[in-house]
Amino acid sequence: MSRLFNYINPISHLGDRKYSVIIPFVFTLASIIASEYFAFNIAKDPLIVGLYVIYTPLAYIVYFAFRFGIRGGLIVSLLTIIYYFYILYSRNFSGEQIQSGLQATLLFGSVFLVLGFLIGWLKQTVDVLIIQEADEKRRLQAVFHQLPIGAILADSAGTVTQVNKKVFEIFGKKIPLGTKVGKDTFVEYKENDKFVVPNQTPLYLAIHSGKSLVDKEYTIKRPDGKIRYIQVNSSAIYNKNKKTIAAVSIINDVTAQKELEERKDDFVNMASHELKTPLTSMKLYIDGLGIRLKDFKDDKTHKTLMGVKQQVIRLSDLVNNLLDVSRLQTGKLSLNKESFRLDLLISDAAEELAQVGPEIVFKAKTKTLVFADKFRLHQVLTNLISNAIKYTPSGDVITINLKKEDGKAVVSVKDKGIGIPSEQQKKIFDRLYQVTDPNTKTYPGLGMGLYISREIIKRHKGKIWVDSTPGLGSTFYFTVPLVKTGN
Ligand code: ADP
């Protein structure tokens, strides 16, 4: 029954382009025959044909044009016009009656033809539009399913409406369409080793609080026990009136990159350890050789040896930096905190570096007691001062300042060097970031110093930042907590 209704209902055939001529032809012909049968056999009055021969074809034209397009509309119209002629010439009308009959046929005939054509044309245009939209949808679907990243779509009510194949590959589990977002995470979902509850998943947050997440990292445990690292981007989709209509979550499996990174870190860690031992021995040998050469009073050889020592020290600093970076990556950099005078530490560091570089002025030598890791703060100071020297090709003076503020010591290292463009100022504290092109070799380095410094200061609950104008110079600041006695 419902199939029959479906077949009759013209709306359910919008978008299907099967335009039959036979069905409208047969139905119209049957209706004409019925009308003639009625006039001749039931009413027994051939002249009884009345308004119904106008309304019935009109209804047929509207229906068949809407159901079968232009052909449907035109075939009914043409048959009706022929029927009108047949009536006119089969009923013994008078000349005048035929005259007005012909006029009526002409009028109604043209109205029928135009109506049949227009409705049919409208139906065919709608069909084309529907097909185009369906094709577009199919194309999008194909792209959606072929995406090399996982994608989950949910509607505004929080029901999963689309899930592509990649999600299954990543999760190792199917997410059924129609699932309520926030009911289940489907797999063990963790962020920084803490479980993510279903109503904290990226898709849930996007739907219910409009919150967008960018490159958020999670680990998942698949049903087969495998751990995967995923990176998720999610956001709500709004309509013109800024109302949430859907939300999407894009999931990228970054397990391979993570494993490669871990292997790289392991390698750097191992290589640095291996390099450290021979370097320490080399330093000792050079010192020994230096003592022996002193007796020969050979200035040139002694100078060469000191050059070698300088380079070995540089190399071992680099290796130490590499080790620190890898310790930071693996969370193994620990601090040995003690109370000491920061002003004295700054003086020492400045003095050491002044021997090899330009003038270094440290004015504010007030006693400043801090609670921190002395060795690590010395490392930060050395890094900032040697950067100031390195990036001041003119050899201009470097000024260091120290003041106390809100229970913190604030240290600044100011140079009149090349400066740093404002858009780069935040990035220079990132791992391996360098503003100057490392390939030009104008300023040698690996971009590890400021990253290590930032991490050390962070672990002291302090802050590190820069204030700089390209061409005029830079001032680096950092803070560390003062010892609580109020010194
Ligand atoms: P690098 O080994 O390259 O010096 P750092 O981490 O110490 O690495 O510094 C990162 C980048 O920040 C440097 O490559 C440089 O471009 C910029 N930079 C650091 N200190 C200064 C400074 N005092 N003046 C100008 N640029 C600086």
Q: Which of 420, 431, 478 to mutate to test the pocket of ligand 1 (most atoms within 8 A of CB)?
A: 420
Cα 262 to ligand 1 centre (Å): 26
Question: Given pLDDT bands bounded at 50, 70 and 90, which one contains residue 356?
Answer: confident
Cα 85 to ligand 1 centre (Å): 98
The candidate with the shortest Cα–Cα distance to 409, out of 345, 342, 459, 363, is 342
DSSP character at residue 159: B
3-state secondary structure of 426: coil
Cα 149 to ligand 1 centre (Å): 37
Contact 217, 254 (CB under 8 A): yes
pLDDT digits (tens, 9 = 90+) for 422-436: 999 989 998 878 886
Which residue has the least CA distance to atom 25 on ligand 1? 419
Question: Given pLDDT bands bounded at 50, 70 and 90, which one contains residue 192?
Answer: confident
**Whether residue 447 has its Cβ less than 6 Å from ligand 1:** yes
pLDDT score of 184 more than 90? no
Segment 375-404 shows an average pLDDT of: 94
pLDDT digits (tens, 9 = 90+) for 66-112: 999 999 999 999 999 999 999 988 888 888 989 999 999 999 999 99
**Whether residue 318 has its Cβ less than 6 Å from ligand 1:** no
pLDDT digits (tens, 9 = 90+) for 297-326: 667 887 888 889 889 988 998 899 999 988
3-state secondary structure of 256: helix
Cα 419 to ligand 1 centre (Å): 9
pLDDT digits (tens, 9 = 90+) for 7-22: 888 888 888 888 989 9
Looking at residue 297, its pLDDT comes to: 64
Residue length of the chain: 487
For tokens 């592509």, what's the residue? 164
Q: Which of 314, 320, 382, 387 to mutate to test the pocket of ligand 1 (most atoms within 8 A of CB)?
A: 387
One-character DSSP codes across 181-217: TTS--SSEEEETTEEPPGGGSHHHHHHHH---EEEEE
Count each helix (H run) and each strand (E run) in the chain, helices first. 11, 14
Cα angle, residue 95 at apex, residues 91 and 101 outer, rounded to 5°: 65
User: Radius of gyration of the chain from Cα atoms?
Assistant: 43
The candidate with the shortest Cα–Cα distance to 231, out of 245, 240, 220, is 220
**Whether residue 420 has its Cβ less than 6 Å from ligand 1:** yes
Residue 413 parent element (H or E): strand 408-414
pTM for this entry: 0.60
Cα 101 to ligand 1 centre (Å): 100
pLDDT score of 444 more than 80? no
Cα angle, residue 32 at apex, residues 26 and 38 outer, rounded to 5°: 135
Which residue has the least CA distance to atom 11 on ligand 1? 434
Round to whole Å and give the CA distance between 172 and 188. 12
CA distances from 311 to 275, 279, 282, 304, 460 (A): 14, 11, 11, 11, 32
Q: Which of 412, 428, 466, 477 to mutate to test the pocket of ligand 1 (most atoms within 8 A of CB)?
A: 428
Cα 429 to ligand 1 centre (Å): 9
pLDDT score of 486 more than 60? no
Cα 344 to ligand 1 centre (Å): 25
Exposure string over 368-397, b if 16+ CB within 10 A, otherwise e? bbbebbbebbebbbbbbbbbbbbbbeeeee
Cα 295 to ligand 1 centre (Å): 42
**Whether residue 418 has its Cβ less than 6 Å from ligand 1:** yes
Measure the N-to-C terminal CA separation of the chain; round to a whole number of Å.
93
Q: Which of 434, 454, 455 to mutate to test the pocket of ligand 1 (most atoms within 8 A of CB)?
A: 434
Comparing 356 with 144, the larger pLDDT belongs to 144
pLDDT score of 397 more than 60? yes
Looking at residue 487, its pLDDT comes to: 42
One-character DSSP codes across 54-83: HHHHHHHHHHHHHHHHHHHHHHHHHHHHHH
Looking at residue 431, its pLDDT comes to: 83
pLDDT digits (tens, 9 = 90+) for 331-349: 888 899 999 999 999 999 9
Cα 273 to ligand 1 centre (Å): 25
Looking at residue 485, its pLDDT comes to: 64
Residues 75, 76, 81, 83: is their CA dihedral positive or negative? Answer: positive
Round to whole Å and give the CA distance between 483 and 486. 7
Question: Given pLDDT bands bounded at 50, 70 and 90, which one contains residue 441?
Answer: low
pLDDT digits (tens, 9 = 90+) for 174-183: 999 999 988 8
pLDDT digits (tens, 9 = 90+) for 47-73: 887 788 889 999 999 999 999 999 999
**Whether residue 387 has its Cβ less than 6 Å from ligand 1:** yes
